[in-house]
């Protein structure tokens, strides 16, 4: 870590404005860090040349006094976001050589505001995974290690590359996508901040789809303020995505540091699950105490349908995925493995192109949508979804401003340690996060402490629809109390 890579995004912004250093210098420092950190496997594509050009352009804009809100800020982009002229694979072999002729709306907004792209970040294949182990580019290594151990740990997933890159100070922030926890869980595993905004807050246009009704883009950064700064640039209505919402984007940064006095924080009893480590239980209580000390009121709340969320999620998400991934058929773009006829070409292409977890979810999704099973699975899961949503609505209707929960049921685990025999072991990682996607609500993961082995743990704040501001205010309180978390550099 150099002086320049140790800065927060807000500090770097200040330094650029004050001409303490140039965007090119800032970018070069990060390019160097990226190159040094290849052992983490966080980047699947480094775009150093483009980054330098973008940085120089930012310097010119800054010199003319036209620098945007993110002028010269080097970022990493999850490989699920289409980037024009830059290979975009969703970390799948089926898109191994795919170069989109278009730019996703979210990344276009970032570049419009002056940000610099360092490269594309590793993720679970098509964002399906909770450990970044399903990537065709191989697993990402968490920059954190257990004390006294050099065992490689997962960074969480699916946005594992984004979380690892930000935690290891390879970039000042990164984009992620969150379908069931893919931003919040890796943020918690790597000791950084991650925000999944309200469904419809960010455009999905140009983001490789996993489960359309759940997918939402969001930012990673090392501080709550930095996360707020990034979200302001990413969010906004997009006529090309009819599920995006046409309402003004607030100045999220202004919410950071706002008083939380009088806010009512719900503590849901259903999140106290069997077998939850005592240190997570303790951290959760601690988080509540911090908020209370800052003037918030804690109330116990009930979200009775919580226990059905995970099974319902693993019906809805694969169902949508099975349909969304049908376009990868070898006909128009991406990999093609020939066959004797069209059916065999499809089979060969998709069997070779998709990894085991993606194939599993396509099979599950195809099954639950099949005639005769649709009502029992998909329709029922949608009803559960309505009930989960109602749980939250009733809670908010009683005056609760936000809900505090643990972000994950454990700290980061070892690569290869989970899900080998039973995929459900892996799916359980999302137990605290999927409800938020099912209800379309905003969720913020904030680092709050460490476990007994020195690994970071995070808390989750769940907000009312479009009240990302409230979450940033609350998150800042936790960050102030808990401090920031930086892994010792071993790579």
Q: How far apart, in whole angstroms, are the C-alpha atoms of residue 6 and residue 35?
A: 16
**68-127 binders of another protein (CB under 8 A):** 81-82, 88, 90, 95, 98, 100-102, 104
Q: How many Cα atoms occupy the beta-carbon half-sphere of 283 within 13 Å?
A: 28
* H helix or E strand, kind and range, residue 44: strand 43-46
Total chain residues near another protein (CB under 8 A)? 43
List the catalytic residue out of 104, 135, 159, 182: 182
Tokens describing residue 364: 């599950």
- Smallest distance from the beta carbon of 163 to another protein, in angstroms? 22
Q: Does residue 370 belong to the site contacting another protein (CB under 8 A)?
A: yes
**336-355 binders of another protein (CB under 8 A):** 342, 346
Beta strands 193-196; 216-221: pairing state: antiparallel
Q: Considering only residues 272, 327, 383, 398, which one is a binding residue for another protein as defined by CB under 8 A?
A: 327
Phi and psi at 155, nearest 5°, equal: -90, 5
| Residues in CB range of 343: below 8 A, 6 or more apart | none
Among 2-10, 150-158, 220-228, 316-324, which window interacts with another protein (CB under 8 A)? 316-324
- Smallest distance from the beta carbon of 97 to another protein, in angstroms? 13
Q: Does residue 136 belong to the site contacting another protein (CB under 8 A)?
A: no
Phi and psi at 289, nearest 5°, equal: -60, -45
Q: Does residue 243 belong to the site contacting another protein (CB under 8 A)?
A: yes
Whether 158 is catalytic = yes
Distances (CA, A) of 238 to 204, 205, 225, 318: 9, 8, 25, 26
Whether 182 is catalytic = yes
Q: Considering only residues 4, 208, 358, 477, which one is a binding residue for another protein as defined by CB under 8 A?
A: 208
- Smallest distance from the beta carbon of 424 to another protein, in angstroms? 24
Tokens describing residue 34: 């990226």
Whether 212 is catalytic = no
Give strand ranges (E) for 237-334.
264-268, 297-301
List the catalytic residue out of 104, 135, 158, 322: 158
Among 156-164, 234-242, 251-259, 278-286, which window interacts with another protein (CB under 8 A)? 234-242
Phi and psi at 137, nearest 5°, equal: -90, 5
Is the CB of 57 or the CB of 337 nearer to another protein? 337
Give the count of beta carbons closer than 10 Å to the beta carbon of residue 74: 31
436-468 residues labelled b (16+ CB within 10 A) or e (exposed):
bbbbbbbbbbbbbbbbeebbbbbbbbbbbbbbb
Among 22-30, 34-42, 43-51, 317-325, which window interacts with another protein (CB under 8 A)? 317-325
**168-207 binders of another protein (CB under 8 A):** 204-207
Which are the catalytic amino acids? 78, 158, 182
Site of interaction with another protein (CB under 8 A): 81-82, 88, 90, 95, 98, 100-102, 104, 204-209, 211-213, 239-243, 319-320, 322-323, 325-327, 329, 331-333, 342, 346, 366, 369-371, 374, 378
């Amino acid at each position: 870590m150099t002086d320049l890579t140790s800065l927060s995004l807000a500090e770097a912004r200040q330094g650029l404005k004050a001409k303490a250093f140039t965007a090119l210098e800032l970018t070069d420092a990060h390019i160097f860090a990226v190159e040094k950190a290849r052992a983490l496997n966080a980047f699947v594509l480094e775009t150093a040349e483009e980054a330098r050009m973008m940085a120089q352009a930012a310097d010119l804009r800054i010199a003319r006094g036209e620098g945007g809100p993110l002028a010269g800020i080097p970022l990493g982009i999850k490989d699920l976001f289409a980037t024009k002229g830059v290979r975009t694979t969703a970390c799948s072999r089926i898109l191994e050589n795919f170069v989109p002729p278009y730019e996703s709306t979210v990344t276009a907004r970032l570049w419009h505001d002056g940000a610099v792209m360092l490269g594309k970040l590793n993720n679970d294949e098509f964002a399906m995974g909770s450990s970044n182990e399903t990537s065709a580019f191989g697993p990402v290594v968490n920059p954190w290690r257990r004390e006294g151990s050099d065992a490689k740990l997962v960074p969480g997933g699916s946005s594992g590359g984004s979380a690892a890159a930000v935690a290891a100070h390879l970039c000042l922030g990164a984009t992620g996508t969150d379908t069931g926890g893919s931003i919040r869980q890796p943020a918690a595993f790597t000791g950084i901040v991650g925000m999944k905004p309200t469904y419809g807050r960010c455009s999905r246009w140009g983001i490789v789809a996993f489960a359309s009704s759940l997918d939402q883009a969001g930012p990673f950064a090392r501080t709550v303020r930095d996360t707020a700064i990034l979200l302001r640039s990413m969010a906004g209505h997009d006529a090309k995505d009819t599920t995006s919402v046409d309402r003004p984007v607030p100045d999220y940064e202004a919410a950071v540091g706002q008083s939380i006095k009088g806010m009512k924080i719900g503590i849901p009893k259903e999140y106290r699950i069997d077998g939850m480590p005592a240190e997570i239980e303790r951290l959760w209580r601690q988080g509540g105490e911090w908020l209370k000390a800052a003037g918030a009121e804690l109330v116990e709340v009930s979200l009775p349908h919580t226990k059905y969320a995970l099974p319902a999620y693993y019906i809805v998400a694969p169902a949508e995925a099975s349909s969304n991934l049908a376009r990868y058929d070898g006909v128009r773009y991406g990999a093609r493995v020939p066959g004797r006829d069209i059916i065999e070409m499809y089979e060969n292409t998709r069997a070779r192109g998709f990894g085991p977890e993606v194939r599993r979810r396509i099979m599950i999704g195809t099954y639950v949508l099949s005639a005769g099973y649709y009502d029992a699975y998909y329709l029922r899961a949608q009803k559960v979804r309505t009930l989960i949503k109602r749980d939250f609505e009733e809670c908010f209707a009683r005056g609760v401003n936000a809900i505090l929960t643990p972000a994950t049921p454990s700290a980061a685990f070892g690569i290869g340690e989970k899900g080998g025999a039973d995929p459900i072991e892996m799916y359980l990682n999302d137990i605290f996060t999927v409800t938020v996607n099912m209800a379309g609500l905003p969720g913020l993961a904030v680092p709050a402490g460490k476990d007994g082995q020195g690994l970071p743990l995070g808390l989750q704040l769940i907000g009312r629809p479009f009240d990302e501001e409230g979450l940033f205010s609350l998150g800042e309180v936790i960050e102030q109390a808990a401090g920031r978390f930086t892994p010792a550099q071993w790579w």
